[in-house]
Amino acid sequence: MNEIQSMMTGVIRENRKVASDQFMMTVILPPSFPIPAPGQFVMVREANRGEPLLARPLSVYGFQKQDDHAVLELLYRLAGRGTILFSKMKPGDEVALIGPLGKGFTIPEGLTRVLFIAGGVGVAPLIFLLQDRFLTAETEKGKKPIFYLGARNVNLLVGLERLNGLCDLKLCTDDGSQGYHGPVTELLKSEIEGYDPKETVIFACGPTPMILSLGRLLKDNPIPCQVSIEERMACGLGACLGCVVAIRGPGRKREYVRVCLEGPVFDLKEVLPTSSVDMQGSENES
Amino acid sequence: MNEIQSMMTGVIRENRKVASDQFMMTVILPPSFPIPAPGQFVMVREANRGEPLLARPLSVYGFQKQDDHAVLELLYRLAGRGTILFSKMKPGDEVALIGPLGKGFTIPEGLTRVLFIAGGVGVAPLIFLLQDRFLTAETEKGKKPIFYLGARNVNLLVGLERLNGLCDLKLCTDDGSQGYHGPVTELLKSEIEGYDPKETVIFACGPTPMILSLGRLLKDNPIPCQVSIEERMACGLGACLGCVVAIRGPGRKREYVRVCLEGPVFDLKEVLPTSSVDMQGSENES
Amino acid sequence: MNPKSEEDRIELQDLTIAIGSMTLKNPVMTASGTFGYGEEYAPFVDLNRLGAVVVKGLSLEPRSGNPPPRIMETPSGMLNAVGLQNIGVRDFIARKLPFLRRYDTAVIANIFGETVDEYRQVAEILNGTEGIHAIEVNISCPNVKRGGISFGACPDAAAEITRHIRSETDLPLIVKLTPNVTDIAQIALAVEAAGADAVSLINTVTGMSVDIERRRPHLANVTGGLSGPAIRPIALRMVWQVVRAVKVPVIGIGGIMTASDALEFLITGARAVEIGTANFIQPAATMEILDGIKDYMIRHKIGKITELIGSLDTGTQGNC
Amino acid sequence: MNPKSEEDRIELQDLTIAIGSMTLKNPVMTASGTFGYGEEYAPFVDLNRLGAVVVKGLSLEPRSGNPPPRIMETPSGMLNAVGLQNIGVRDFIARKLPFLRRYDTAVIANIFGETVDEYRQVAEILNGTEGIHAIEVNISCPNVKRGGISFGACPDAAAEITRHIRSETDLPLIVKLTPNVTDIAQIALAVEAAGADAVSLINTVTGMSVDIERRRPHLANVTGGLSGPAIRPIALRMVWQVVRAVKVPVIGIGGIMTASDALEFLITGARAVEIGTANFIQPAATMEILDGIKDYMIRHKIGKITELIGSLDTGTQGNC
Ligand SMILES: Cc1cc2nc3c(=O)[nH]c(=O)nc-3n(C[C@H](O)[C@H](O)[C@H](O)COP(=O)(O)OP(=O)(O)OC[C@H]3O[C@@H](n4cnc5c(N)ncnc54)[C@H](O)[C@@H]3O)c2cc1C
Ligand SMILES: Cc1cc2nc3c(=O)[nH]c(=O)nc-3n(C[C@H](O)[C@H](O)[C@H](O)COP(=O)(O)OP(=O)(O)OC[C@H]3O[C@@H](n4cnc5c(N)ncnc54)[C@H](O)[C@@H]3O)c2cc1C
Ligand SMILES: Cc1cc2nc3c(=O)[nH]c(=O)nc-3n(C[C@H](O)[C@H](O)[C@H](O)COP(=O)(O)O)c2cc1C
Ligand SMILES: Cc1cc2nc3c(=O)[nH]c(=O)nc-3n(C[C@H](O)[C@H](O)[C@H](O)COP(=O)(O)O)c2cc1C
Ligand code: FES
Ligand code: FES
């Protein structure tokens, strides 16, 4: 049996625009809400609504446990109907939440160099990971984490305030309005030789085009890379088999595994993400 | 062609509980919203929502036109899913409105005695009628209007503040918690002989059981009675033929007419309301 | 972004489509039974801008329809059991058609009967009538039985009725199909072979709902026809099945609420669309849909709507 | 209001129902493919309280299913084209059934095959297996063809498959019917005559949806099965058709989200219900539905669920 999961009603404390197409929602939950691991996600719905029918998967962006309640932060991009309706919710409105779900990031032993590669709202689980696991990384075992963060333009770069001081920040924009002018993977490519594969790990999250070019970039590079993958979901619990992604299984055989249960974090070298979800996004967008 | 009608977006100014199962909603509309006649209704939906699919018909309870906006008041009972969702809307939320629709009450010439018979929220169109057309009735041509108002109990008697001073109020409750102990039609029955058929008119609105007993009571009584009828509606415009009610047509032939277009106000002696809508209600409830 | 004036912009897009010998200025039509006789919607809709108005189903004699309650809401849909209440074809011509003749928009008469001969007679009456541009034959009326199956559920019966009407009229003949069948493409092929100029689909899906407090059906007629967004995926699938089977134009109907929905049908291969239940929710739905289709064409640099129609790319997959 | 303790209250209601030789403690079951192998929902649901668990469809050999995307939301519904991915019947018995055996709840194996013989073999393997209480035969898999029509759409093929499985097992045999047919009652009659102990309906309605920006189907498989509240009115209508046609118990499935929805099916005549898509929306949906049915029975003073089943009053009307 998995860790005990729960469907709970949360009350929105804040639901604020943080970029032209991104919102941050803060949800108050009962204190019994299990502590999420970085990379885990929740299934979110408006409570008491028949439509949209399905909950939407959103990564945990922040979490604090208090004595009598828990605070969950979500960062979401207006992708379609569901997220647009989320953005119209007001403080006091209720959401139904299942989670935390999925398998988060794994922190390998003895590493000294941590790279984060984020596109758009892909920053959400990575910031949570950074804050939750690497706050003391620098002092303890090595170099400051490096955070590559890309977006279409400067106005869509979100989460900077949380990253300040915790890492070396490398910003990229498609239009050059801030930082490197071009996709985040292009900047990484030009610097990848500088990292020692034996002591480096990459954590990545972003739109499918970004993941695909990251895959090309690291194809023959031994640096391990864990990537959080997105697919449409119905249950989030491993029951519907709707959210599968192809992986190279044992013996390089292609097989379908569930993003919600076996993922959402996969080894980049094994996963074969579908290009058919979220293809509108530029590489830097999510 | 009918009077010009419009579908407009209104903004909720107030949405307030006025009894345990009743709410009053005040909606701000563009000034171009046509002035409704008493007995007319509007089709109301939450704006930008896919579900519930259909708009709900609600009678005009009050209306004021200002230079740069119009104010529409609706009084509604929590009958099911749609009205419960209405009750959760907050100031600032938007509703989509079509109206005013239907044929309202007709004021016959030269009458001196006006009786109103209302059950539950059936009070809504009658209060609007009273305020709109009979404010000066007493002084002009006769006796003060008499308003029979019934509900299940005292807590469900709504609109009293609007009626004060404008009429002789006769309250009835099913449980005797205020006024006459029994259905409103029972009290009327005991007093009906006192009214002169030649100078009296009755305006009625309430749940189907009330309408049916009113029909039985006035079967052999020549007092004219106009009644506002309810049926489920899809379009409100006469197009779907969904909202029909049987009437005794010319030559007493039964035929189906549209509540939304030929009604909602009918001659009680002609209409044959369906007992299948809203049968849960007691006679006094609406 | 677009330096052209509104007028230029509109002229750049060619939305005309052909159904048989009839050319429509655009593919946005109204669905029978959801737009009355047009006049009910004139305050909301510029009827001149519609591709066509399909009027409420007409029978030889007036019909009073089913007892109420006739409608019930369902999740993202509604059930209706109106029972084809209508004023009859002659009264329609005398009292309703003159209003529609004032507009420069095709009028399509939706017809039905209880027997093949009734259908034939209604078509005969309409045939000579000025202001009628096409006939849509409703062969999916659940009250019309033939060997226990309605005309529309049996290829032979559907073909027979089509042949009879075909022999009566040169007007473009659209046969409207029911979704309550195992293989809608087979029915479409049968009516095509029998002379239909086009097929339209889908009519409502038979459904039911129950009042659990009173343990009675919500509709006096027990069952009714399901329409609205709930059935859109079913309608789209059937359109896809039929466009690959027949050569005549296919008119897509079912749960189309927005331009995006309409575009799904056009891209899948529907030559035109009919808007039904959406009219109830937003009386100007047809206008919004038309504008949205134009905007899409501009955004995607599509000059002619015909380039869009049937442009679905299913890759190598697609076993239905 | 009710002076009795919670425990007394519950004991007063008799919710047991029989399907063939099997007695279930209540009529609330899970629908195949929406509840995994039970263990996925154990954190949310007390499996002991369920009438039965119907597991994900099992085939002779493991299947990898269709490529993604496999699901798409639709108005009040969802399309899926999972393509019956499963670990195969033997692995199920070895790795998944032991978990379910720990519960005092009937386990129903949903099975399918690409040929009649595959079905037969799966049934054969299950027949001797401890902890399997019944077999539900999915004859509505859209990938299984026979003369261009799936087994479930043709009465003869449906009957043949039923006969073969019947000869293989004494377990209660439930045949699960597809709604994508003209006359579902006819299929139900055919499988009843061929030895089915019960029928369950409906499986998903074939549907489709298109990404207009990319002009490609949303599902890699192009079409998928529509489930959820959108199809409930269709499912209820079909249950009503079938309960009046057959004598064996009917299990109602389709868009049941709440106790009220479940009661519609029971009142219409379904002996039990299966809860599908609702599990995705609210993992404890089955528990809420069970509690709601009990509350309704208390409120309406109904001691035995069997008094409720089929108690629909359609008056004098009801021509479907
Ligand atoms: C494990 C996981 C974690 C996620 N975390 C976040 C997050 O923290 N913040 C965030 O903004 N988004 C996140 N997503 C993506 C988010 O779930 C989708 O953007 C959202 O479901 C879209 O819903 P919609 O109704 O707004 O858009 P829709 O109208 O449903 O779709 C709009 C577009 O989004 C794509 N889409 C739909 N569902 C998904 C999905 N489940 N995953 C990816 N693309 C989808 C569609 O293909 C389409 O291109 C995550 C997805 C997964 C699987
Ligand atoms: C012309 C007209 C004017 C009306 N004015 C008012 C008003 O001012 N205030 C008010 O509270 N109600 C009014 N009603 C009734 C109101 O429309 C219904 O109560 C409402 O539509 C129920 O919606 P629901 O989703 O809450 O309930 P549902 O879940 O749809 O139904 C709950 C119960 O209400 C009944 N019902 C559903 N629709 C209608 C309907 N259109 N008319 C009557 N009963 C219905 C159902 O049969 C059921 O018994 C009016 C109805 C009409 C036709
Ligand atoms: C209230 C109502 C009445 C209808 N009457 C007719 C009719 O007279 N003739 C006909 O062919 N179809 C009729 N239909 C079916 C519609 O034309 C259309 O095929 C169906 O509603 C599906 O489209 P929609 O989902 O856009 O409404 C009717 C539908 C509704 C909802
Ligand atoms: C994701 C998914 C997978 C399904 N897999 C199966 C299956 O393996 N076997 C089967 O007989 N039915 C399967 N079904 C159909 C359901 O059991 C059920 O018949 C259908 O979804 C309608 O019920 P619902 O609306 O409550 O979901 C599946 C449905 C869904 C949504
Ligand atoms: S979302 Fe259902 S299995 Fe992953
Ligand atoms: S509500 Fe459509 S005709 Fe009255």
Query: Stretch D222-235: mean pLDDT, rounded?
Result: 97
Q: Are the CB atoms for D218 and C315 separated by under 8 Å?
A: no
Predicted confidence at residue B108, as pLDDT, reads: 86
**pLDDT tens digit sequence for D262-287:** 999 999 999 999 999 999 999 999 99
Return the pLDDT at A66. 92
Residue C99 burial (CB count, 10 A): 15
From the candidate CATH numbers 3.40.605.10, 3.20.20.70, 3.40.50.300, 3.40.1190.20, the one assigned to the domain spanning C13-308: 3.20.20.70
Across B183-192, B273-282, C274-283, least confident range = B273-282
How many separate domains does chain A show?
1
Ligand 4 close to Cβ of residue D256 (< 6 A): yes
Q: What is the pLDDT of residue D320?
A: 37
By the 10 Å C-beta count (0-12 exposed, 13-18 middle, 19+ buried), D215 is classed as: middle
Catalytic residue among C45, C108, C111, C141: C141
Res A280: pLDDT: 40
Q: Is A240 touching ligand 5 by the criterion CB < 6 Å? A: yes
Residue D299's pLDDT is 95
pLDDT of amino acid A5:
57
Q: What residues of D are in contact with residue C214 (Cβ under 8 Å)? A: 313
Quick one: pLDDT at residue A262? 96
Distance CA D176, CA D188 (A): 9
Region for B282 from its dihedrals, namely left if φ exceeds 0, alpha if ψ lies in -120 to 50, beta otherwise: beta
The closest-lying atom of ligand 1 relative to the alpha carbon of residue D73 is: 30
Tell whether the model's pLDDT for residue B167 goes beyond 60.
Answer: yes
pLDDT band at B5 (very low <50, low <70, confident <90, very high): low
pLDDT in tens, B65-82: 999 999 999 999 999 999
Model confidence at B3, pLDDT cuts 50, 70, 90, reads: very low
Q: Summarize the confidence of residues D12-22 as an average pLDDT.
A: 93
D25 token code pair: 């403690």
Beta-sheet pairing, D272-275 with D28-30: parallel
- Assign A140 a pLDDT band (cuts: 50, 70, 90): low
Are B1 and C72 a contacting pair at CB < 8 A?
Answer: no
Predicted pLDDT at D58: 95
Q: Could you tell me if residue A51 is inside a domain?
A: yes
D279 touches A: beta carbon within 8 Å: yes
Q: Which residues of B touch A47 (CB under 8 A)?
A: none
Residue D32 pLDDT more than 60? yes
A136-143, long-range: CB < 8 A, 24+ apart: A141/A110, A141/A111, A141/A112, A142/A111, A142/A112, A142/A113, A142/A199, A143/A112, A143/A113
- Chain D within 8 Å of B51 (Cβ-Cβ)? yes
Say what the pLDDT of residue C217 is.
97
**Per-residue confidence (pLDDT) for residue A278, from 0 to 100:** 43
- Give the residue, out of B41, B54, B235, with the most ligand 6 atoms within 8 A of its beta carbon, to mutate for a pocket test: B235
pLDDT of residue D3: 45
pLDDT for position D152: 84
B40 part of a folded domain = yes
Mean pLDDT of A237-259: 89
What is the arithmetic mean of pLDDT over D184-190? 96
Nearest Cα neighbor of B120 from B164, B57, B76, B84 is B76
What DSSP state is assigned to residue C55? P
Residue C76 contacts A where some CB pair is shorter than 8 Å: yes
Q: Is pLDDT at D234 greater than 60 in this prediction? A: yes
Q: How far is CA C117 from the centre of its chain?
A: 23
Strand pairing of B94-101 and B41-46?
Answer: antiparallel
Name the residue at shortest CA distance from atom 14 of ligand 1: A58
Nearest Cα neighbor of D252 from D301, D179, D163 is: D179
pLDDT tens per residue, range A57-80: 999 999 999 999 999 999 999 999
Q: What percent of chain B has pLDDT over 90?
A: 69
Q: Would the CB atoms of B50 and A48 count as touching at under 8 Å?
A: no
DSSP symbol at A264? B
CA of A34 to the centre of ligand 1 (A): 23
- What is the rounded distance in angstroms from the CA atom of residue D93 to the CA atom of residue D103? 15
Whichever domain contains A67, its CATH number is 2.40.30.10
What's residue B35's pLDDT? 95
Helices (H), C128-199: 155-166, 184-193
Q: How far apart (Å, rounded) are the C-alpha atoms in residues B232 and C211? A: 14
Q: What was the pLDDT predicted at D68? A: 93
Note if C320 is an active site residue.
no
Ligand 6, atom nearest to B240 Cα: 2
pLDDT of residue A102: 96
Whether residue B43 is contained in a domain is answered as yes
> Measured between CB atoms, does D76 come within 8 Å of chain B?
yes
Nearest CA to ligand 6 atom 3: B238
User: Is the pLDDT confidence value at B9 over 50?
Assistant: yes
Q: How far is B50 from chain D (nearest CA, A)?
A: 8
C75: contact with A, CB 8 A cutoff: yes
Residue in D28, D29, D30, D32 to alter for ligand 4 test, most ligand atoms within 8 A of Cβ: D32
- The Cα D175–Cα D168 span in angstroms is 15
pLDDT digits (tens, 9 = 90+) for D117-151: 999 999 999 998 999 999 999 987 654 444 345 68
A187 in a structural domain: no
C57 and C86 in contact (C-beta within 8 Å)? yes
B94: tokens are 């938007």
The verdict on residue B20 lying in a domain is yes
Q: Cα separation of D135 and D110, whole Å?
A: 6
Task: Among A249-258, B227-236, C174-183, name the one with the lowest average pLDDT.
Answer: A249-258
Domain that holds residue A58: 8-101
Measure the CA–CA gap between C296 and C260, rounded to whole angstroms.
9
Q: Write b or e for each residue in D144-165: b if 16 or more Cβ atoms lie within 10 A of its Cβ, otherwise e.
A: bebeeebbbbbbebbbbbbbbb
- Per residue, what are the HEC states of C7-54? HHHHHHCECCEEECCEEECCCEEECCCCCCCCHHHCCCCCHHHCCEEE
Q: Which ligand is nearest to the CA of A237?
A: 5
Atom of ligand 4 nearest to the CA of A234: 1
For residue A260 and ligand 5, the question of a CB distance below 6 A is answered with: yes
Of residues D299, D286, D230, the one with CA closest to residue D258:
D286
Is B53 among the domain residues? yes
Answer yes or no: is pLDDT of D216 > 90. Answer: yes
Q: Is the pLDDT of residue B130 over 60?
A: yes
Q: pLDDT for A225-235, tens place per residue?
A: 999 999 999 99
Q: Does residue C230 belong to the interface with chain D, where contact is any CB pair within 8 Å?
A: yes
CA of B232 to the centre of ligand 6 (A): 8
Cβ contact, residue pair B51, A48, below 8 Å: no
Task: Name the residue ranges covered by the structural domains of chain D.
Answer: 13-308
Asked if residue A263 lies in contact with residue A84, where contact means CB atoms within 8 angstroms, the answer is no
User: Which atom of ligand 2 is nearest the CA belonging to B56?
Assistant: 21
Contacts of B190 (CB under 8 A, 6+ apart): none
CB D246 within 8 A of CB D271: no
pLDDT in single tens digits along all 320 residues of chain C: 444 445 445 457 899 999 999 999 999 999 999 999 999 999 999 999 999 999 999 999 999 999 999 999 999 999 999 988 999 999 999 999 999 999 999 999 999 998 889 999 999 999 989 999 999 999 876 544 443 456 888 899 999 999 999 999 999 999 999 999 999 999 999 999 999 999 999 999 999 999 999 999 999 999 999 999 999 999 999 999 999 999 999 999 999 999 999 999 999 999 999 999 999 999 999 999 999 999 999 999 999 999 999 999 998 544 33
- Which amino acid would we find at residue A63? F
- A partners (3+ CB pairs within 8 A) are B, C, D
Cα–Cα distance for residue pair D41/D39, rounded to 1 Å: 5
